[in-house]
């Protein structure tokens, strides 16, 4: 079980959605993309709210001097916190589009919806205007700047001084990993035969990205469980690895057959029910692997990584 | 300083290099070809990989003068006229890249594999890419991408 965003509240992200005169949109957020899909998700959310094509949305998040405030890309928070800020900003921009379209279509703003690259009257597809026409008329005819602003921040969570009770989390996601291992009792080597990782993502906004995130996190978990060791003689810092030859992150040969299972249990307040799972994906494989080793040969590895040496020592201790 | 003559992506170059200059330094600093990345600089991660006369090498631990007169191919060199390479397309379509830092080396290692073995099994792909580290993807979709590209290139 794992929270999205910084626990305790106060975790803040802002977004701006500017609708261009041709009906395309530019989203500006402060969270950078380190490869796990911030740009994609913000574009998807904006496209959904404005009823425009994904390809018509450009996301700018490359320059902290110019972008709105964000606490950053960490804590499984971008889809959730930036996603909510972007959704608010896109809704704000859509409100301005509706103001313009209400004049053009001679109706009230509440009657309108944005869908299929059009602003149209709900239940009356004939009374519709291309979004580019509305944005153009709003920009040049009515001299508007069609700029939506959004800021999401959960209130800091107060703690009851008597009981310690507190509601610190935006949302909680659930996860489980299943591992099958083979232990060589002669050499102490552990081979992971199969690893299944299941995550409650709330709403799978981009299933392919989620699978990639789960695969990647699981591999970090496999590394932590099997080979990665920053302080081999902790608390002594001797023999601390200082290159990627000594600090053994998993290679293609170390990754078992993996299966990523996406489960959707919507959050009450995330964008479209989404939850963040970025960080937690690295956490569940280790315990599953350790439990599988116990199930196979009856030893408990209590200090990762589960090196052959530790496995053999535990087997010796058990035999003694 | 010594004069190094080499061909990079089909184009001849003549550069002045020192005895300890690496091929990676020549490519990035002298020729401004930046797809080979400076990852670990110790030959462990594989993101500096290039093809040297068709053979996959790590340019960060390849002495520049040792490639005198040879032909180097970087990621820039496999782009086909008017279109990206089927491997690049497959990585794109199968989400074989997240942060992208390992991708140049991954694609060249995959190309070296497919040049030698156009129909690899999943295990053969794993073995061929075992010298290239990736911290984001867990390799699953990278391997999917290579297999998809192999299918595409056969048809």
Coil/strand/helix, residue A195: strand
Q: What is the pLDDT of residues B72-121, one digit of tens each?
A: 999 999 987 888 999 999 999 999 999 999 999 999 999 999 999 999 99
Q: Answer whether residue B51 shows pLDDT above 70.
A: yes
Q: Pick from A262, A179, A264: which is nearest to A214 by CA?
A: A262
Report the 10 Å Cβ neighbour count for B129.
24
Judge if B74 and B6 occupy the same domain.
Answer: yes
Smallest Cβ–Cβ distance between B141 and the set A215, A245, A251 belongs to A215
Q: Domain with B24 in it: what CATH number? A: 3.10.20.30
Determine the length of chain A. 320
Judge if B61 and B104 occupy the same domain.
Answer: no
Report the 10 Å Cβ neighbour count for B135.
18
> What are the chain B neighbours of A257 within 8 Å (beta carbons)?
none
Of residues A195 and B155, the one with the higher pLDDT is A195
Q: Answer whether residue A320 shows pLDDT above 80.
A: no
Tell me which of B78, B98, B118 is where a domain ends.
B78
pLDDT at B138: 95
Provide the mean pLDDT of chain A: 94
Report the CATH fold assignment for A172-319: Aldehyde Oxidoreductase; domain 4 (3.30.365)
Report yes or no: A219 at the B interface, CB cutoff 8 Å: yes
- Cα(A33)–Cα(A38) distance, integer angstroms: 5
Q: What is the pLDDT of residues A153-165, one digit of tens each?
A: 988 888 899 999 9
Report the 10 Å Cβ neighbour count for A64.
13
pLDDT at A23: 97
pLDDT at B126: 97
Radius of gyration of chain B (CA): 15
- Cα(A249)–Cα(B102) distance, integer angstroms: 14
Judge if B33 and B97 occupy the same domain.
Answer: no
> What are the chain A neighbours of B97 within 8 Å (beta carbons)?
35
Nearest Cα residue in chain A from B128: A252
Facing residues of B5 across strands?
Answer: B14
Mean pLDDT of A11-25: 96
Q: Where in chain A is the domain with CATH 3.30.365.10?
A: 2-153, 172-319
CA angle B72–B75–B78, rounded 5-degree value: 85
Smallest Cβ–Cβ distance between B139 and the set A209, A245, A255 belongs to A255
> What are the chain A neighbours of B42 within 8 Å (beta carbons)?
243-245
Handedness of CA A290, A291, A295, A298 (dihedral sign): positive
Q: Pick from B46, B19, B51, B16: which is nearest to B135 by CA?
A: B46
Provide the mean pLDDT of chain B: 96
In the sheet that holds A190-200, the strands lie side by side as A175-183, A190-200, A257-263
Q: Give backbone dihedrals phi and psi of A312, rounded to 5 degrees, phi first.
A: -65, -40
pLDDT at A190: 97
- Helices and strands in chain A: count of H runs, count of E runs: 6, 12
Determine the length of chain B. 155
Band of the pLDDT at A19, cuts 50, 70, 90? very high
Judge if B51 and B109 occupy the same domain.
Answer: no
Report the CATH fold assignment for A2-153: Aldehyde Oxidoreductase; domain 4 (3.30.365)
A279 annotated active-site: yes
Tell me which of B78, B105, B123 is where a domain ends.
B78
Facing residues of B16 across strands?
Answer: B3
Coil/strand/helix, residue A17: strand
Judge if B136 and B73 occupy the same domain.
Answer: no
- Cα(A43)–Cα(B92) distance, integer angstroms: 18
Mean pLDDT of A299-304: 96
pLDDT at B120: 98
Q: What is the pLDDT of residues B122-145, one digit of tens each?
A: 999 999 999 999 999 999 999 999
Phi/psi region, residue B138 (left: phi>0; alpha: psi -120 to 50; beta: rest), is left
Band of the pLDDT at A9, cuts 50, 70, 90? confident
Judge if B45 and B100 occupy the same domain.
Answer: no
pLDDT at A156: 86
Report yes or no: A215 at the B interface, CB cutoff 8 Å: yes
Which residues between 240 and 279 in chain A have a beta carbon less than 8 angstroms from any beta carbon of chain B? 243-245, 249, 251-253, 255, 258, 260
Test the A interface: residue of B138, B141, B143 with most A CBs within 10 Å: B138
Q: Pick from B92, B124, B94: which is nearest to B110 by CA?
A: B124
Chain A nearest-CA distance from B8, in A, is: 28
Handedness of CA A97, A103, A105, A111 (dihedral sign): positive
Smallest Cβ–Cβ distance between A216 and the set B42, B45, B138 belongs to B138
Q: Which residue among the candidates A186, A264, A279, A309 is catalytic per the annotation?
A: A279
Total number of domains in chain B: 2
- Cα(A223)–Cα(A282) distance, integer angstroms: 9
β pairing state of A2-3 and B49-52? unpaired
SS (H, E, C) chain B: CEEEEEEECCEEEEEEECCCCEHHHHHHHHCCCCCCCCCCCCCCCCCCEEEECCEEEEHHHCEHHHHCCCEEECHHHHCECCECCHHHHHHHHCCCCCCCCCHHHHHHHHHHHHHHCCCCCHHHHHHHCCCCCCCCCCCHHHHHHHHHHHHHHHC
**A215 to B137: CB separation less than 8 angstroms, yes or no:** yes
**A209 to B127: CB separation less than 8 angstroms, yes or no:** no
Contacts of A137 (CB under 8 A, 6+ apart): A100, A104
Smallest Cβ–Cβ distance between A251 and the set B99, B133, B141 belongs to B133
Q: Answer whether residue B155 shows pLDDT above 90.
A: no
Radius of gyration of chain A (CA): 25
The count of C-alpha atoms lying within 13 angstroms of the C-alpha of B56, restricted to the half-sphere facing its C-beta, is 24
Judge if B7 and B74 occupy the same domain.
Answer: yes
How is residue A103 annotated by DSSP? H
Facing residues of B52 across strands?
Answer: B55, B72
Strands (E), A61-108: none
Would you state the structure tokens that stand for residue A199, as one six-digit string? 């995550």
Range of the domain at B17: 2-78
pLDDT at B65: 97
pLDDT at A319: 87
Q: What is the pLDDT of residues A210-239, one digit of tens each?
A: 999 999 999 999 999 999 999 888 899 999
Q: What is the pLDDT of residues A27-65, one digit of tens each?
A: 999 999 988 899 999 999 999 999 999 999 999 998 888
ipTM of the complex: 0.92
Facing residues of A178 across strands?
Answer: A196
Judge if B12 and B66 occupy the same domain.
Answer: yes
> What are the chain B neighbours of A39 within 8 Å (beta carbons)?
none
Tell me which of B32, B50, B78 is where a domain ends.
B78
Q: Domain with B139 in it: what CATH number? A: 1.10.150.120
């Amino acid at each position: 079980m794992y929270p999205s965003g910084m626990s305790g509240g106060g975790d803040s992200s802002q977004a701006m959605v500017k609708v261009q005169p041709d009906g395309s949109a530019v989203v500006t957020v402060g969270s950078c993309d380190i490869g796990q899909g911030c740009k994609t998700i913000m574009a998807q959310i904006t496209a959904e709210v404005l009823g425009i094509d994904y390809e018509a949305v450009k996301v700018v998040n490359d320059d902290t001097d110019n972008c709105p405030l964000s606490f950053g890309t960490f804590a499984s928070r971008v889809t959730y916190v930036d996603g909510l800020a972007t959704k608010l900003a896109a809704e704000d921009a859509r409100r301005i589009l509706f103001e313009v379209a209400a004049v053009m279509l001679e109706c009230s703003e509440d009657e309108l919806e944005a869908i299929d690259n059009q602003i149209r009257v709900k239940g009356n597809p004939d009374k519709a205007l291309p979004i580019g026409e509305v944005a153009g008329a709003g920009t040049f005819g009515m001299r508007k700047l069609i700029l939506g602003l959004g800021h999401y921040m959960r209130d800091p969570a107060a703690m009851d001084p008597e009981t310690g009770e507190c509601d610190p989390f935006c949302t909680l996601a659930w996860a489980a990993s299943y591992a099958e291992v083979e232990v060589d009792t002669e050499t102490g080597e552990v081979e992971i035969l199969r690893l299944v990782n299941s995550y409650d993502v709330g709403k799978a906004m981009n299933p392919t990205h989620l699978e990639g995130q789960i695969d990647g996190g699981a591999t970090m978990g496999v590394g932590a469980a099997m080979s990665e060791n920053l302080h081999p003689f902790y608390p002594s810092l001797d023999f601390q690895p200082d290159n990627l030859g000594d600090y053994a992150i998993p290679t293609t040969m170390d990754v078992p057959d993996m299966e990523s299972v996406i489960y959707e249990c919507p959050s009450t307040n995330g964008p479209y029910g989404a939850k963040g799972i970025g960080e937690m994906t690295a956490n569940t494989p280790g315990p599953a692997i350790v439990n599988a080793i116990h199930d196979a040969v009856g030893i408990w590895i209590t200090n990762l990584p589960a090196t052959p040496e530790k496995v053999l020592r535990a087997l010796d201790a058990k035999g003694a | 300083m010594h004069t190094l003559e080499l061909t990079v992506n089909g184009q001849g170059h003549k550069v002045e290099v020192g005895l300890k200059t690496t091929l990676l330094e020549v490519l990035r600093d002298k020729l401004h070809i930046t797809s080979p990345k400076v990852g670990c600089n110790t030959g462990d991660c594989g993101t500096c990989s290039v093809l040297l006369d068709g053979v996959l090498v790590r340019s960060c631990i390849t002495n520049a003068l040792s490639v005198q007169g040879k032909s180097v191919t970087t990621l820039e060199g496999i782009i086909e006229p008017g279109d990206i390479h089927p491997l690049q397309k497959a990585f794109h379509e199968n989400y074989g890249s997240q942060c992208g830092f390992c991708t140049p080396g991954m694609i060249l290692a995959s190309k070296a594999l497919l040049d030698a073995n156009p129909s690899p099994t999943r295990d053969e792909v794993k073995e061929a890419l075992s010298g290239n580290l990736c911290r984001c993807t867990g390799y699953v979709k990278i391997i999917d991408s290579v297999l998809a590209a192999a299918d595409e290139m056969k048809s």
